[in-house]
Amino acid sequence: MIKDRKGNIVTTNQGQNRALNSLYNTACGRAVLKVLTAPAVSKAAGAFMDSPLSCPAIRPFIRRSGIDTSQYNMKRFRSYNEFFTRTVKPEMRPVDRMPGHLISPCDSKLTVYPIICSPNPGLGNVFRIKGSYYRISDLIQNEFLARRYDGGLCLIFRLEVDDYHRYCYIDDGTKDGNHFIPGELHTVNPVALRHYNIYKRNSREYTLLHTENFGDVVQVEVGAMMVGRIVNHHSICSFRRGEEKGMFEFGGSTIVLLIEKDIVRMDSDIRRNSAEGVETVVKFGEKIGEKIF
């Protein structure tokens, strides 16, 4: 289930959800997945989406997804990917500038999970989704760094194909280099988690953000089905709150933030929804929590 910030139930992408259920919940569909999740297939799809041949798909997608084009800088796009990575009008995504406010890095559906010490000592620290445990060290492949987040929070921002696919920095600060982890490209739709650990198997890229207000935050961009490219703009650098960090090209995708213990209190609606297994619709730059002073 998905809710907006006012508590209303939101229904999205029903046709896509039915197709994904067929792929992941049938033997025939899972056989097809072996082809669709291969990076080479995503690379080929990406090449098509970069070409002028993909332009006829733009208008039908806008109609089917109900995208409000008045929010974006629209032009004559030269490819589907150019449309997919369109920029938003700044006034449509105002960035909360209060230093103690944690902002969303993107438009997405957000769920927050506590990072706990697993009851199985061999797993280390984990977050739990619907009864299954997911290791932080599997996500970033760095056992030493993962241990720093025991008792903290794991924020999962799931972007769907009709979301705005550019993302920003959550605070002022500096960052380390980007670490790319190759892998497969399963959908980030929750249906995939019944069969595959996408936080261990999908291609992803992470960096350590040294922020002024929220300590050291790990940000992970997770690629997904038909997302061949995670485009981060910077390597080692300083950054400002709301500055664009990067973008995803075609497809759904996910951003994960790891925040250390006793740093942030999430907004009450997000905490309540997450405890009930409900995703919350959040927008690029809006407040989602606040610093614990």
In terms of residues, how long is the chain? 293
Domain that holds residue 40: 1-293
Active site residues: 107, 253
> Could you tell me which of 170, 129, 135 has the C-alpha nearest to residue 150?
135
The predicted structure's pLDDT at residue 32: 65
Residue 255 neighbours by CB under 8 Å, 6+ apart: 105, 106, 108, 156, 157, 159, 167, 219, 220, 221, 222
d(CA 290, CA 263): 8
d(CA 57, CA 273): 35
- Total domains in the fold of the chain: 1
d(CA 21, CA 2): 17
Sign of CA dihedral 41, 46, 49, 50: negative
What DSSP string runs through the chain? -EE-TTS-EE---HHHHHHHHHHHHSHHHHHHHHHHTSHHHHHHHHHHHTSGGGGGGHHHHHHHHT--GGGB-----SSHHHHHTPPBPGGGSPPP--TTEEE-SSSEEEEEEE-EE-SSGGG-EEEEETTEEEEHHHHHS-HHHHHTTTTSEEEEEEEPTTS--EEE-SSSEEE---EEE--B----SGGGGGT--HHHHB-EEEEEEEESSS-EEEEEEE--TT---EEE--SSEEE-TT-EEEEE-SS-EEEEEEE-TTSEEE-HHHHHHHHTT-EEEE-TT-EEEEE--
The predicted structure's pLDDT at residue 144: 92
**Given the structure tokens 């993107």, which residue do they identify?**
106
Contact 124, 142 (CB under 8 A): no
Written as tens digits, the pLDDT of the chain (293 aa) is 899 898 899 877 655 556 555 565 666 656 666 666 666 777 777 788 889 999 999 999 899 888 999 999 999 999 999 999 999 999 999 999 999 999 999 999 999 999 998 777 677 888 888 778 889 999 999 999 999 999 999 999 999 888 999 999 999 999 999 999 988 776 666 666 666 677 888 889 999 999 999 999 999 999 876 555 789 999 999 999 999 999 998 766 899 999 999 999 999 999 999 999 999 999 999 999 999 98
d(CA 170, CA 65): 28
pTM, rounded to two decimals: 0.89
Based on its alpha-carbon atoms, the radius of gyration of the chain, rounded to whole angstroms, reads: 18
d(CA 155, CA 99): 19
Tokens of 49: 């989406």
Phi, psi of 39 (to 5 degrees): -55, -35
The predicted structure's pLDDT at residue 37: 67
